[in-house]
Amino acid sequence: MTTILNADLHCHSVVSDGTLTPEALAARASANGVELWALTDHDEIGGQARAAAAAQACGMRYLSGVEISVTFLHQTVHIVGLGFDPSNPALIDGLKQTRGGRSQRAKDMAKDLARVGIKDAFEGALQYAGNPDLISRTHFARHLVETGVCKETNEVFRKYLTEGKPGYVEHRWATLKDAVGWITGAGGMAVVAHPARYKFTANEEFALFTEFKGHGGQGVEVVTGSHTAAEYVAYAAAAKDYGLAASRGSDFHSPLESHTELGTLPYLPGAVTPVWELLAARIQ
């Protein structure tokens, strides 16, 4: 299979921290010319049946998807899963455990924000969560913009929701081994999401890719809304060096907040093996 395919294998719906339904995302992706699509909600696969049906109705091919939160070397790393069986019990159970700490974390975040004068942020953020089980920093950001604390979500993250800022609460997510194991155990492919976003040293990044491969991981995002053009080149080279397949996805969350629209990124560079080549048998 060629790298010249409008595949968008990373985006979010109201089932996690996006603002559109799976059906609205499918329609938007299709209107933008997406040929192969995956919905990859954070730690949750409750939108998969709707996404697959909507993709079929729009004439797009579909891969099941998820984006799992992992803690690796004291940082949060995201692992995308593609082409797994959404009815796999170990995957369902693992994701449930991963989601489990989110409500308590959100209450702790709200307590922290109250100390700097921002009251009732938990209740406020919850209003934006389409799925109460999946309350995320994004929902706090929307609430703080809506109540005039900040002008835009980026500013909220900069001032409140990132390490060292009031409102940031350290959290322990899944292990790399577990997340990769849940995905591959369900017949899917594990992919390191937006690798340029992490603040790893070269040695730490080497450890991430080496351990990821050791656990059975097979892919890395090369062309993503989180990377610059120079990073496409750097991670295409990393994909080749580590023997990983390359993925492409916008990481679209919302028409108003996302700077990268579904299906509009450049194609993968020609020299990589696209993830869809290895996943051909899993495409619906």
Q: Which residues bind ligand AMP (CB under 6 A)?
A: 17, 42, 69, 136-138, 153-154, 157, 253
**Alpha carbon distance 282, 188 (integer Å):** 8
153 binds, among Mn ion, ligand AMP, none (CB under 5 to 8 A by kind): ligand AMP
Nearer to ligand AMP (CB atom), residue 248 or residue 253: 253
Q: DSSP code of 133?
A: G
Amino acid at the residue 261 = E
Q: Which does 127 bind (CB under 5 to 8 A by kind): ligand AMP, Mn ion, none?
A: none
Quick one: 122 or 173, whose CB is closer to Mn ion?
173
Q: According to CB under 5 A, which one of 19, 29, 78, 189 is a site residue for Mn ion?
A: 78
User: Taking the complex as a whole, how short is the minimal distance between the CB of residue 256 and ligand AMP, in angstroms?
Assistant: 12
CA-based nearest residue to 95, from 39, 170, 45: 45
Residue 279: Cβ within 10 Å count: 23
Residue 17 near Mn ion by CB under 5 A: yes
- Between 142 and 248, name the residue whose CB sits nearer to ligand AMP: 142
Tell me the closest approach of the beta carbon of residue 43 to ligand AMP, in angstroms. 8
Pick 220 or 272: Cβ nearer ligand AMP:
220
State yes or no: residue 102 binds Mn ion (CB under 5 A).
no
Q: Tell me the β-bridge partners of 65.
A: 82
Residue type, 119: K
End-to-end CA distance of the chain: 16
Q: Which positions ≥6 away from 281 have C-beta within 8 Å?
A: none
Cα–Cα dist 9/242, whole Å: 21
Upper half-sphere CA count for residue 214 (Cβ side, 13 Å): 8
Binding positions for Mn ion, 40-69, rule CB under 5 A: 67
Segment interacting with Mn ion (CB under 5 A) among 72-80, 144-152, 199-207, 212-220: 72-80
251 binds Mn ion (CB under 5 A): yes
Partner whose footprint covers residue 69, from ligand AMP, Mn ion, none (CB < 5 to 8 Å by kind): ligand AMP
Alpha-carbon span 149 to 113, nearest angstrom = 11
Helix (H, G, I), strand (E, B) or coil at 196: helix
Q: Which residue is nearest to Mn ion (CB)?
A: 78
Where b means 16+ CB within 10 Å and e means fewer, 136-161 reads: bbbbbbbbbbeeebbeebeebbeebb
Among residues 25 and 193, whose Cβ is nearest to Mn ion? 193
- 62 interface partner picked from Mn ion, ligand AMP, none, CB below 5 to 8 A per type: none
Binding residues vs Mn ion (CB under 5 A): 17, 67, 78, 193, 251
